[in-house]
Amino acid sequence: MDITGNYRDFIYQDWILIETQFHPDQLQSRETIFTIGNGYLGTRGSFEEGYMRALPATFIHGVYDEVPVVYTELVNCPDWLPLVVTINGDRFRLDQGEILNYSRQLDVRRGLLSRSVRWRSPKGSTIDLHFERFASIADQHVLGQRCQVTPLDFSGVIEIQASINGYPENPGFNHWECLEQDKTDEGIWLHRRTRNSRIDIGLAAKLTISGAEASLQVNSAPGYPTLSATFLATSNQTVTAEKLVTVFTSREVAAPEQAAREKLTLLPNYATLLQEQEKAWAEIWQKSDIIIEGDLIAAFAVRYNLFQLLIAAPKDDDKVSIPAKTLSGFGYHGHIFWDTEIFILPFFIYTQPALARNLLSYRYHTLNGARRKAAHDGYKGAMYAWESADSGDEVTPRWALPNDPYGEDVRIWCRDREIHISADIAYAVWFYWQATNDDQWMGDCGAEIILDTAIFWGSRVEFNPKYERYEIRGVIGADEYHEFVHNNTFTNRMVQWHLERAIKVYDWLKATFPEKARELEEKLHLGTKQRSRWQDIIDNIWILQNSATGMIEQYEGFFQLSDINLNEYEPRTRSMQAILGIEGANKRQVLKQPDVLMLLYLMRQSGESPYDPKTLQVNWDYYAPRTDITYGSSLGPAIHAILASDLGKSAEAYERFMQAAMVDLQDVRGNNNDGIHGASAGGIWQTVIFGFGGIQFTENGPVAHPQLPPSWTRLKFQLHWRGKWHEFDLRKEATLSSDIRGVIFDLDGVLTDTAEYHYRAWQRLADEEGIPFNRQDNEALRGVSRRESLMLIVKNRQYTEAQIQEMMERKNNYYVESIQHITPKDLLPGAIALLDELRQAGIKIAIGSASKNAHTVVEKLGIADKVDAIADGYSVEKPKPAPDLFLFAAQELGLPPNQCIVVEDASAGIEAGLAGGMLTVGLGPVERVGAANVVLPSLAGITWVDLKAKLNAANTIKH
């Protein structure tokens, strides 16, 4: 990807974006790029002096108003930026006079936008001007501006006018009614009201001049109150003008204009406010920053995109959410899509969970709108709108109006058919709950979201008696190039997943919050009949997957469409739908964005069907070449980057990552004048953490399986999981295995197979207790402690602690009896040869087994003289998947964890090794040990040289 192009005048530093040239033809695009905000409002990066072709805007969360065709839109609020400088009668403008030097900087660490210009006026006066602005994240109702002027070759009269523009417009529409304005001892104020939603806004401003004696005057032109300061400036003397603004709406206070005036009187000076801003941002970045070394552009691009998400996230309001274009542009009219829950929310869940809770609470507060939509369409329950605003009602426009006056109106079918959003929201609720253990919110809000939307699905599916299956017909899946399809696999599987969780949530609610459960049963008409129907749908909904090949058909009949080779259309600068037409794309196997692959990505986190490495590979090979990844949807590249990383396609993963990371900074799609691509920004975080960091979540916390891009030497971040912070510092080394000095082997399934003895002992105990138990049940006991194994076997049966202890002892006696017959012949193929080779190479060897009989087994196998240490069930309190056992083994060897390899055949053991910061070798099927750094079928034929080569080939990274 060309990282210069039209943006060669950008310089990227660790935290700062520097623009070195003024581009009058790119005003609107650059306004988006230089957006600032504070979670309450967002202000586009328009220039203080104003230009005809500019598109200045400030958006405040929740301030919507009615508008024809698109129902409602986020309103462009009164502009607080106007700051006009006049030098000896010449008004400072970049399109007049001469620009001698220019630099604009966005410091995302401090949330500060600044501009420095050396300008020669038409009359020949040369002056340095420095502008700054910030939207305080320490106090969301405070905005600050500073202008410093330094005459270089003249002394003369300078006037600075600081205004509030009460006539902002959305394109083609003015939403504001004039109410009142006035001056006070502190400055000026303005009061406005939206025409239909009747939301009031109040702004107040004051101006302070230092460095010169200045006279201050007020001009109360209707709708445009202005403070003017005039002073005599001396050559090489710097004069500073500081403008402070306060803003409130009637969404927060009854009298916003009064609140703004009162707030203004209490403000400290600009410097103090800026210090508070810097302190607040430092606390935010402490939780959310990602450090990347070895790739400066990627390092800044990631921080930039996270900054844009942070300034759009409502920290003090749970009745609003992040629009698709954040608070940075007019695109999509400020409406909220699935972008927030699926793409943006994970960043907040794992770094700022309180903000994540606010965003999800918006969906709770808009449930009534979702219910109205379901009822209108003839269904039960809650059916979330494809596009929503303040009430949750459907606000997707029915028609897109053409620019050509003779063109045909285009019907927008998403409002009617793209219904998967209800399952997407349930997905987000579930994973928020899993990450936070926020039972209170789940009981108060989340459960109702999941259950009422599940009721909708129960009324939306159709039963096909011919095939005795449930189907969902007439939908749009994630891929919007196909607008009327039946049984879209993404939708069907997400519905199935949703209903599976609905049953779990229903059962949990009844057990945990029985009064709330009864309340919802009455309110939503829930009961055993509904639960039974959900289970029937789960068991019989049609999922279009070939069980033999793993191939998934995107929807019924997709494979019968005309195929396409996208390479034949290159080079291009338009989407395939623009090239082929709506019907042309609809009839071909071309995708706007990942659909089947999107499903695999969403199921990837929990490893659920249909996600597995084989299925991913075969479906990637088919669908990735048919996806319009360059000009289709901005939501696609990040998802492709993660999946490509999973498949070891590091070059393609990095290319797609950078495509997403630079989508706004380089205006890759030519549409960033509409606003920031919020979903892409969220996808970038997911690519870095889940793709390159390889984070997977276990019951004991997040575990990294890093796959860093070739140029990255370090990736550092932290994640919040169930009340605790987990820090990851991933570093790449040229040849890591040269540092390995110890190998820790599990016993069962690795060096010997005592699993049969354990199974017989457990089977004997289960038979005696009358508990059903078979070999399939035994698979769940791999790598698990004796107590935990017993708990899995007895399930919900109630036993006293004395009975539990007796049963564990009884099972152990049965097992000890059987292992008396173990001999060296019971060593698995390859085990003794590898142990001998390790000894010759000077590598220390330990046993790390959950068994409390490990010493006995090692003696019986005849390998005690080959082992330097044994960690067994008596060594530590916490069993696998906690890392304690292997950490103890490493300590016994006298080695740091990062110099040890763990060899395991159980997923719990692999998790434990990775959690302990060790390299892992998994023996057995990928489905069980696929999280390991290297996966082998067994130790048969494996040498130490082989093992080192495989570890290096896997580009192993330690942390």
Contact 453, 381 (CB under 8 A): yes
The residue from 186, 480, 904, 911 that is catalytic is 480
Pair of tokens at residue 643 = 């999946």
3-state secondary structure of 330: coil
> What is the rounded CA–CA span in Å between residue 906 and residue 885?
14
**Strand 156-163, strand 83-87: pairing:** antiparallel
Interatomic CA distance for residues 558 and 589, integer angstroms: 7
Helix (H) or strand (E) holding 515: helix 514-524
Tell me the C-alpha distance between 307 and 304, whole Å: 5
Contact 885, 902 (CB under 8 A): no
Collapse the DSSP code of 616 into the 3-class scheme (helix H, G, I; strand E, B; otherwise coil) and give the result.
Answer: helix
Nearest residue to 640 via CA among 651, 622, 656: 656
| Extended beta strands in 13-166, E state | 16-19, 36-37, 41-43, 58-67, 71-76, 83-87, 90-91, 98-107, 112-120, 126-135, 142-151, 156-163
Cα separation, 928 vs 612, in Å, equals 11
CA–CA dist 15, 19 (Å, integer): 13
d(CA 107, CA 19): 12
Q: How far is CA 517 from the centre of its chain?
A: 31
Residue 296's SS3 state is helix
Instruction: Please check whether residue 135 is in contact with residue 143, taking contact to mean a CB–CB distance below 8 angstroms.
Output: yes
* Number of other CB atoms surrounding residue 208 within 10 Å: 18
Q: What are phi and psi of 904, to 5 degrees?
A: -140, 155
Round to the nearest angstrom and report the end-to-end CA distance of the chain. 30
784 is written with which tokens? 């698990």
C-alpha 195, offset from chain centre: 36
Strands 742-745 and 844-848: parallel
HSE-CB at 185 with a 13 A cutoff on CA atoms is 3
Cβ neighbour number for residue 579 with a 10 Å cutoff: 15
Instruction: Give me the half-sphere count of Cα atoms (radius 13 Å) on the Cβ side of residue 344.
Output: 32
Cis (ω within 30 of 0) for the bond into 610? yes
Cα separation, 21 vs 520, in Å, equals 60
CA distance 739 to 224: 69
Give CA–CA dist 324/13, Å, rounded.
Answer: 27
Type of residue numbered 155: S
Helix (H, G, I), strand (E, B) or coil at 523: helix
How many of the other CB atoms lie within 10 Å of CB of 16?
A: 18
- CA dist 37 and 247 (Å) reads 13
In this structure, how many other beta carbons lie within 10 angstroms of the beta carbon of residue 513? 18
Nearest to 165 by CA among 178, 154, 153, 150: 178
Q: Distance (Å, rounded) from C-alpha 131 to C-alpha 113?
A: 8
Q: Is 480 one of the annotated active-site residues of the chain? A: yes
Q: Cα(223)–Cα(215) distance, rounded to whole angstroms?
A: 23
Give the residue from 10, 28, 75, 52 showing the smallest Cα distance to 671. Answer: 28
Q: How far apart are CA 506 and CA 829, in angstroms?
A: 49
Catalytic residue list: 480
